[in-house]
Amino acid sequence: MNEQEILKEKLASLRSEHRDLDDVIARLVERAPYDQLQMQRLKKRKLMLKDQIMVLESRLLPDIIA
């Protein structure tokens, strides 16, 4: 398995976890009242995943000379 394939698998895993967090957050909002601290932690985790996804995507895309 080469580096690009490993990065693509990791990217797919991160995207899946990001989508799962979307679902968890949506369900949590539906049942009021909800734990604000838990919500903050979930959103923070989601942002960290998004940052990791962006880093991996930039590594997979070739550099373009402008």
Burial class (CB in 10 A: 0-12, 13-18, 19+), 64: exposed
pLDDT at 39: 95
pLDDT tens sequence across 7-51: 999 999 999 999 999 999 999 999 889 899 999 999 999 999 999
pLDDT tens sequence across 11-20: 999 999 999 9
CA nearest to 3, candidates 64, 60, 65, 62: 60
Tell me: pLDDT of 66 over 60: no
Domain extent for 46: 1-59
Residue 39 covered by a domain = yes
Residue 65 covered by a domain = no
Residue 64 covered by a domain = no
